[in-house]
Amino acid sequence: MSNSSCRDDVLKFFEKENRPFSLVDICGALKNHGKTAISKALDDLSEEGLIKEKAYGKQKVYVYDQTKLPLFDENELRKMEAQGANLSVELAEEQKKLKSVVEELKKVTSSLTKEEAEKELIQVNEKLNKVKAEVTALKSKGPGITEADLRSVSEGRRKMINEWKKRKRIAMNIIDAVAESYPSSKKQLMSDIGIETDEDCGVSIPN
């Protein structure tokens, strides 16, 4: 290859990597060029001021001239940071989807075999037939309760509970009125006249 091609490749290598290299390092990276051509390219680039040369004893180290790098752009950096944040969110979402797929795959791979599914189906049918038989037996014992019957019973129950609450409230109002002028406590009054509350009997009004 021509010296010009080698020079261009060496320069591009320094621009891309942007860190110090020795001649051996560069030869190892640019295997398509010989050591002599690379050495000459380094000398040329140093003379042109595109790279800097620093001697450490017998060894030379080369680095790209930092003044040739583009100026730092804070807006561009913020833009890149925002893009990075968005990519992180997208990555997290994709990882979540992947986890879901893996879990679903585990479910599928651990699902019943055909033989197991058939056995499970037989057991389910047996349970279903048993329930059907119980329902049939209940129906044979007498006529079923209609929806109208159920509404009638529910309404009657509601009226009885309301009447219970009403009578209890009236009774307690009377007792409270008498207790105001009674020489003993309200509890003693109720004991003297033989009144027991629902609570005394361990009974509570249903809702």
> Token digits for 158?
């509601």
Residues whose CB is less than 8 angstroms from the CB of residue 37 and which lie 6 or more positions away in sequence, other chains included? 1, 3, 6
pLDDT of the residue at 11: 93
Instruction: Answer whether residue 130 shows pLDDT above 90.
Output: no
Per residue in 62-97, pLDDT (tens digit) is 998 888 776 655 666 567 767 777 777 777 777 777
Edge-to-edge strands, sheet with 59-64:
21-22, 59-64, 51-56
pLDDT of the residue at 203: 72
- Asked if 182 and 189 touch (Cβ cutoff 8 Å), the reply is yes
192, amino acid identity: D
Q: What is the mean pLDDT of the chain?
A: 77
Confidence of residue 201 (pLDDT cuts 50, 70, 90): confident
Global pTM value: 0.36
Instruction: Produce one character per residue of 96-132: b if its CB has 16 or more CB atoms within 10 Å, e if not.
Output: eeeeeeeeeeeeeeeeeeeeeeeeeeeeeeeeeeeee
Q: How many Cβ atoms are within 10 Å of 179's Cβ, its own excluded?
A: 15
Per residue in 3-59, pLDDT (tens digit) is 788 999 999 999 888 888 999 999 999 999 999 999 999 999 999 999 999 887 777
Which residues are registered as beta bridge partners of 13?
A: none
